Amino acid sequence: MNRTKPLTGELASLRDEILGYATDYGLTFYPVMFEICNYDTVCILAANGGFPTRYPHWRFGMEYDQLNKGNTYGFQKIYELVINTDPCYAYLLSSNRFVDQKLVMAHVYGHADFFKNNAWFSSTNRKMMDVMANHGTKIRRYMEKYGVERVENFIDTVLSFENLIDMLELVKPNATFDTDQEEVDIKDDRSQALKSFMRSKIGKPEEVEKVLKDENPLDKLDEEIRGGRDIMRFLMDYAPIEEWEADIIGLLREEAYYFLPQRITKIMNEGWASYWHSKILTNKALRSSEIFDYADVHSGVMAMNAQNINPYRIGIELFRDIEYRWDTGKFGKDYLECNNMSEKQNWNKDTKLGKEKIFSIRKSHNDITFIDEFFTQEFCERMQLFTYKYNPRTGRNEIDSRDFETIKAKLLQQLTNFGNPVIEIESANYKNRGDLLLRHVHQGVDLDVGMTNETLRNLYKVWKRGVSITTQVEGVNKIISFDGKEISETSESK
Amino acid sequence: MDHPIKRDHARFRKIIKGKIRDNLRKYISRGEMPIPKGDGQFKVPMPSINTPRFIFGDKSQGGSGQGEGEAGDPVDGQGEPGAGEAGEGEGAKELDVEMSLEELAAILGDELELPKIEPKGKQNMQSTVDRYTSIGTVGPDSLKHYKRTYKEALKRQIAMGTYDPANPIVVPTKADMRYRSADTKIEFENSAVVIYMMDVSGSMGDEQKEIVRTESFWINLWLKSQYKDIEIRYIIHDATAKEVDEHTFFRTRESGGTLISSAFKLCKEIIQEDYNSNEWNIYPFHFSDGDNWSMEDTNLCLKILKEDIIPESNVFCYGQVESRYGSGQFYKDLTAAFGEEHEDVILSKIKNKDAILGSIKEFLGKGK
């Protein structure tokens, strides 16, 4: 059943027109395939992370339920979806007005350029459409073989440590996340049990010989893995699980790494796409009769929000700010060291480096470095940013500070490790009994206690021995452990 | 075939229902009730089913925002941004689950193993309903069924040998025409009326009323799922009784004495005036803390019950909500008069909120 169809008629010629502008401005991208579809289909695709098929899991159904409801009640609308693949697929909502489609197409070309050129996307598998479909097929087969409940429960468990991956893996030379094995066909249960046993003791088969020679293989292993952040990979390789379970961790890990670049470049990516839709539309594509409608949609997307920063807005404004600064020469040693306020204000060296600068930034930066390097005091004030804090006395969140340094630190902290706590492996032989010890690298914010306990329980299901994590709770170093029966908390002994 | 996500969706709904079922006891004893939304749907408060992960604690974290305001100004309650596009963001998700009355009743029925109610008097009331579910050979053009018509024509042409696969033109003739037509079905009307009576004298406190409110919600839910039409009447009483609306029923507090017979008399009158027991399934419920003014009045109550109320009703239910002041005497008197196990009388003691579920099962478990 075809739920989407290619562009025809005036939309097709609109696409050609926008494509022309985008190319003229110097954007480069893989071919962009626009498809048009109804709202239900957009919801389905969005719930599936943009892909037409995923592995079966109730969580996609939940997303779908919520997106659909959001539309019915009118507090949410998805205009488009764009998928980071080659060719790049983009889905347009059939009910969009003509001017909306214009905006959305220009926006999509912005994303497509970013996907292709940003360094953090360089290791992305651009054939992800097929990969996702294959994962679906594989997991469905596992479900037929081992039972839907069993496989689904295992997936639920794995999703619990889906965020324990290492961002730096993305830029390692020859990075690939494809750990696909031929589907394992088990006929003899005993041999499988033996295999699992071997995995549990000494890791991957090819390492067997090497490790056996060492006197204490587990201590040796500890040296190798300590400080590692790709915990999904670690569990896939070393946990005493069955082959199909390891395979599922591998599949989900590959998907997690696929989505990771988008999570660490949210501000830049949306900012870049918004910058270009605004530029293309206001300079080229808009007819005068469309200005109001365009302004209405654009301002909706750029709306400020007191509870969260809007990545679209911060992104586009920061790109514009950089372009302006590099066009007028407001950068570098001379400018920064100038103490004459009026001279600084009227600084105009006519350097005209703006365009070059923003293109080079979109090539190498991610959100953290983007904010760290280009977020200035002037910009912060112009954006009316603030930090807020929960006030236990009034029971609500209240504006805390408008101090530049505080805000910048808060922003960077929120972006660090894509907004997730940094968790490292400390030991796979904790207490000398094969327990797993993780370390939360505490950077000022405590872990959610309830969630931590539940996550430890899930990790135990995979590791099959005790799992502990060192962290800080209200300033006190603690070790939280789950030994298969109960959660216990001890203050860390130094 | 539908998109596979519909299966994920169905799976999600199933998990949700399981969750609600698991938590039903908790919901009921905490008095958390599904919120009716008007279109037969209910919004159910739902424990989140977020996947557990190592994440930052929520409240201590704070955040950054954008806009006007001085230090100390609140940032909550401004809602979401006006528009936005889907992203890979992972916010906290609050589950707001919708269930239809039937689904909720089914969960309640499953959990309590409630039998289906066998309505009485259904032979007496019947009505006919027309539903366009069948196909006829005559009818107006507006009801023409094109697909069936062309199917007939195709069949005829193949049978006659005039169908040419190379030039597949199918022309229906008059005899091929098919029309949607109505099937007349006889439906048995089953209507029910629930008459809630409650003692609102001083000894019934807020907690007792809360129990009655929760209990009546679930009883209504179940009865609504069992009957096509249902009416609900409310009577409050201290020394005198009056009929009130739902709002007043749960919020009135009087300080007078207690004459239960006043409520029973009014109940009897309502039944006699409005509800013919041949056509209606009648459910009188009485809730009190068990205190009555005098034995004399209790005897009068028993007389009204035996002579007027019980013969007309499917079942008479008495729920005794324990309170500090109540003696619980009325329960004893009823037990003495009807015995623990009576065909048409169900007595239940509700000690506290945790006992609500058990009490609902006692009332509805007989399938009356």
A107-138 confidence digits (pLDDT tens) = 999 999 999 999 999 988 899 999 999 999 99
Give the nearest chain A residue to B11 (CA atoms).
Answer: A58
Q: What's the number of domains chain B is made of?
A: 3
Domain containing A284 equals 4-118+265-296
Closest CB to B53 among A301, A311, A451: A451
Q: Are residues B133 and B195 in the same domain?
A: no
- The predicted structure's pLDDT at residue B88: 30
Of the partner residues B1, B51, B67, the one whose CB lies closest to the CB of residue A160: B51
Contact B210, B31 (CB under 8 A): yes
Closest CA to B363 of B10, B60, B115: B115
Query: How many percent of chain A have pLDDT more than 90?
Result: 54
**What's residue A398's pLDDT?**
85
Phi/psi at A295 (5° precision)? -60, -35
Q: Is residue A404 part of a domain?
A: yes
Burial profile A57-89: b = 16 or more Cβ within 10 angstroms, e = fewer: bbbbbbbbbbbbebbeeeebbbbbbbbbbbebb
pLDDT at position A194: 43
Instruction: Work out the minimum CA distance from A220 to partner chain B, whole angstroms.
Output: 27
> Smallest Cβ distance to A399: which of B51, B75, B85?
B75
Query: Which of A58, A301, A384 is nearest residue B8 as measured by Cβ atoms?
Result: A58
Largest CA distance in chain A: 82
- A1: exposed, middle or buried (C-beta count within 10 Å: 0-12, 13-18, 19+)? exposed
Q: Average pLDDT of B114-127?
A: 66
DSSP secondary structure letter of residue A419: G
Q: CA-CA distance, A34 to B3, in Å (whole number)? A: 20
| Residue A66 sits in the same domain as residue A95 | yes
Q: Does A66 touch chain B (CB under 8 A)?
A: yes
Helix B206-226 and helix B356-364: axis angle, to 10°?
A: 40
CA–CA separation, A167 vs A260, rounded Å? 7
pLDDT digits (tens, 9 = 90+) for B63-82: 788 888 877 787 765 433 33
Q: Within an 8 Å CB–CB cutoff, is residue B57 touching chain A?
A: yes
| A88-110 average pLDDT score | 93
Q: Is residue B271 part of a domain?
A: yes
Q: Higher model confidence: residue B23 or residue B333?
A: B333
In 3D space, the residue among B287, B301, B362 whose CA is nearest the CA of residue B337 turns out to be B301
Same domain, A164 and A152: yes
Q: What does the block give as tokens for A246? A: 């390891």
Residue given tokens 């239940």 in the structure block? B348
Q: Does B285 lie in the same domain as B210?
A: yes
pLDDT score at B124: 55
* The token pair that represents B81 in the structure block: 């941004």
Taken as a whole, chain B contains a residue count of 368
A243, A264, A285: which is the final residue of a domain?
A264
- Asked whether the whole model's pTM tops 0.95, one would answer no
Q: With cut-offs at 50, 70 and 90, classify the pLDDT of residue B189.
A: low
Which residue of B75, B78, B94 to mutate against A (max A Cβ within 10 Å)?
B75
Q: ipTM of this predicted complex?
A: 0.83
Query: Would you state the pLDDT for residue A166?
Result: 92
Report the pLDDT value the prediction gives residue A264, as an integer from 0 to 100. 94
Query: Chain B, 71-130: which have a CB under 8 Å from a chain A CB?
Result: 71-76, 78, 80-89, 93, 95-96, 98
Average pLDDT over residues A371-387: 91
Same domain, B143 and B5: no
Q: Is 80 exceeded by the pLDDT of residue B120?
A: no
Query: Do the Cβ atoms of B68 and A440 come within 8 Å?
Result: no
Q: Is residue B86 part of a domain?
A: no
The whole-angstrom separation of Cα B184 and Cα B197 is 41
Structure confidence at residue B81 (pLDDT): 35
What is the model's pLDDT at position B208?
Answer: 82
- Kindly list the distances between the CA atom of residue B30 and the CA atoms of B106, B215, B358, in Å, as whole numbers in the listed order: 20, 12, 14
Closest by alpha carbon to A274, among A44, A35, A80? A80
Quote the pLDDT of residue B259. Answer: 85
Confidence check: pLDDT of A255 > 90: yes
Q: Are residues B254 and B317 in the same domain?
A: yes
Q: What is the arrangement of strands in the sheet containing A396-401, beginning at the earlier edge strand? A: A396-401, A385-391, B63-66
The pLDDT of residue B312 is above 50: yes
B100 & B15 share domain: yes
Domain-embedded: residue A123: no
- Which of B170, B186, B202 corresponds to the end of one domain? B186
- State the Cα angle at A110 between A106 and A113, rounded to 5°: 135
Domain count, chain A: 4
Residue A373 burial class via C-beta count within 10 angstroms: exposed 0-12, middle 13-18, buried 19 and up: exposed
Looking at the structure, do residues B300 and B278 belong to the same domain, yes or no? yes
Residue A363 in this model has a pLDDT that exceeds 90: yes
pLDDT band at A193 (very low <50, low <70, confident <90, very high): very low
Q: Which residues of B touch A266 (CB under 8 A)?
A: 87-89
Is B241 within the bounds of a domain?
A: yes
Pairwise CA distance, residues B17 & A491, whole Å: 40
Mean pLDDT (whole number) for B221-225: 85
Query: Which residue range(s) make up the domain with B211?
Result: 191-364
CA B346/CA B360 separation, integer angstroms: 11
Angle at B193 between CA B191 and CA B198, to 5 degrees: 165
Please give the Cα distance from A493 to A470 (Å, whole number): 11
Q: Is residue B29 part of a domain?
A: yes
Does A404 share its domain with A433? Answer: no
Report the pLDDT value the prediction gives residue B188, as an integer from 0 to 100.
67
Stated as kind and residue range, the H or E segment containing A479 is strand A476-482
Domain closes at, from A296, A312, A346: A296
